[in-house]
Amino acid sequence: MTWLRSVLFMLWFAVLTTVLSLVFVVLLLGPRRATVWLARIWARATFWGLRVFAKIHFAIAGTLPRGAVLVASKHMSMWDTLALYLALDDPGIVLKRELLSIPFFGWFVGKAAAIAIDRGGKARALLKMMDQARAVMAQRRPVLIFPEGTRKKPGAPPDYKPGVAGLYTALGAPCVPVALNSGQHWQGFWKIPGTITLAFLEPIPAGLKRPAFMALLQDRIETATNQLLRT
């Protein structure tokens, strides 16, 4: 049944995304809040399809952060971006600049939430990213980053990049680590029934030295993620 559930969900997702993309082309000319509105509809409808067709549910653990805070999350699947976008209520999301060139998806993310980084741009690119992140926080919105920079399969060795420490220091804000187990249920085409948990962990206060921050961030995320993968 897993293959059938996966096919039904992918058909739903394809139709949903195509229809809303056509609507989005019109909204490109409007204010950002119109794109944010459509983004939330898309995410909610995607989760409806996951629940109905693939029998994948989700639960949120911990306290949802609000306002000007840095959120650093484990990343296993596309599900993570959708779930965190809904849970955090209009965050700015740090992502690769190349993603913005993808038709519809890139245009949509670029207008709704992107804090784009050019990985080949070195110091100048990092400064631009930090300026964009400060602007998001000035609006009392959270900044979301995936500190490993890419998706990781469940159980894969961690590989945390220094960019998250740079943001943490530059923003002078507390950081909320996030653990999850989405990779057990959203595996590319395959959708495995069950419950995905999105766990917001104890915040790390602002002001720690970079090495201490990185060690604490990785320990909290990896420990909580491994616990979720065992349940």
pLDDT at 182 over 90: yes
pLDDT at 161 over 70: yes
Q: Residue 111: its pLDDT value, please?
A: 75
Tokens of 51: 């629940």
117 pLDDT band, cuts 50/70/90, is confident
Kindly state the percentage of the chain with pLDDT values over 70: 96
Q: Which residue has the higher pLDDT, 154 or 115?
A: 154
d(CA 221, CA 204): 11
Task: Find, among 119, 124, 118, 179, the residue nearest to 154 by Cα.
Answer: 179
Q: Which residue has the higher pLDDT, 57 or 111?
A: 57
pLDDT at 5 over 80: yes
CB proximity list for 3: less than 8 A, separation 6 or greater: 190
d(CA 2, CA 153): 19
Q: 185 and 48 in contact (C-beta within 8 Å)? A: no
Q: Which residue has the higher pLDDT, 230 or 70?
A: 70
CB atoms closer than 10 angstroms to residue 13? 19
Tokens of 50: 């996951």
**CA-to-CA dists, residue 128 to 55, 72, 116, 140, 162, angstroms:** 42, 19, 9, 19, 16
pLDDT in tens, 44-90: 999 999 999 999 999 999 999 999 999 999 999 999 999 999 999 88
Segment 189-193 shows an average pLDDT of 96
Q: 160 and 145 in contact (C-beta within 8 Å)? A: no
Q: Residue 98: its pLDDT value, please?
A: 77
pLDDT in tens, 7-39: 999 999 999 988 888 877 777 778 888 888 888
Q: Residue 120: its pLDDT value, please?
A: 62
Determine the Cα angle at 30 with ends 25 and 32, to 5°. 100
Segment 134-156 shows an average pLDDT of 94
CATH numbers and ranges of domains, the chain: 56-230 (3.40.1130.10)
CB proximity list for 75: less than 8 A, separation 6 or greater: 146, 148, 150, 151, 152
Q: Which residue has the higher pLDDT, 137 or 36?
A: 137
Segment 204-222 shows an average pLDDT of 97
Q: Helix, strand, coil shares of the chain as percentages rounded to 5?
A: 55, 15, 30
Q: Residue 186: its pLDDT value, please?
A: 96
CB atoms closer than 10 angstroms to residue 10? 16
Give the mean pLDDT of the chain.
91
